[in-house]
Chains A and B, each alone.
Chain A
Amino acid sequence: MKTHRLNILLASAVVLLSACASNPKSTSLLDQVRIDYAQAQSNPKVATYAALEMQSATEALAKANAAAKERESLETVDKLAYLAKQKIALATEVASRKSSESDIASAAVVRDQVRLDQRTLQADQARVKAEDAERSAQAARNAQAMATQQKELAQSNAAEAQRLTAEANARNAALEAQLADLSARKTERGLVVTLGDVLFGTDMARLNPDGMRMAQRLATILLQNQNRTVLIEGFTDSTGTAQHNQVLSERRASAVRDVLLDLGVAGQRVAVRGYGESNPVAANDTALNRQLNRRVEIILSDERGVISPR
Chain B
Amino acid sequence: MADGTEFAPADMKAAREKLALAKNALAAKDYKAATDFANQAQADAKLAQAKAGSAKAQTVSQTLQEDIRILRVELDRASAQ
Per the CB 8 Å criterion, the residue count for chain B at the interface is 27
Decide: B68 and A94 in contact? CB cutoff 8 A: no
Q: Is the interface of A mostly helix, strand, loop or mixed?
A: helix
**Cβ contact of B43, chosen from A90, A107, A125, cutoff 8 A:** A90
For B78, list chain A residues within 8 Å (CB).
118, 121-122, 125
The yes or no answer to B24 lying at the interface (CB within 8 A) is: no
**Cβ contact of A83, chosen from B39, B60, B79, cutoff 8 A:** B39
Decide: B68 and A79 in contact? CB cutoff 8 A: no
Give the tally of cross-chain contacts (CB within 8 A): 76
Decide: B50 and A94 in contact? CB cutoff 8 A: yes
For B44, list chain A residues within 8 Å (CB).
86
The yes or no answer to A66 lying at the interface (CB within 8 A) is: no
Q: Contact mask A200-230 → B, CB, 8 Å, 1/0?
A: 0000000000000000000000000000000
The yes or no answer to A101 lying at the interface (CB within 8 A) is: yes
Using A111-B68, A117-B75, A121-B75 as known contacts, say yes or no to A100 and B54 having CB atoms under 8 A apart.
Answer: yes
Decide: B71 and A114 in contact? CB cutoff 8 A: yes
The yes or no answer to B74 lying at the interface (CB within 8 A) is: yes
The yes or no answer to A89 lying at the interface (CB within 8 A) is: yes
Q: Output the nearest chain B residue to A88 by Cβ-Cβ distance.
A: B47
The yes or no answer to A158 lying at the interface (CB within 8 A) is: no
Chain B proximity of A52: nearest CB distance (Å) = 13
Residue of A100, A114, A115 ringed by the most chain B CB atoms within 10 A? A100
Q: Give residues 17-68 of B contacting A (CB, 8 Å).
A: 36, 39-40, 43-44, 46-47, 50-51, 53-54, 56-58, 60-61, 64-65, 67-68
Q: Which residues of B contact A (CB under 8 A)?
A: 36, 39-40, 43-44, 46-47, 50-51, 53-54, 56-58, 60-61, 64-65, 67-68, 71-72, 74-75, 78-79, 81
What are 13 residue pairs bridging A and B, where the CB atoms are less than 8 Å apart in the complex?
Answer: A79-B40, A83-B39, A90-B46, A97-B53, A103-B65, A107-B61, A111-B67, A114-B71, A114-B75, A118-B71, A118-B74, A118-B78, A121-B78
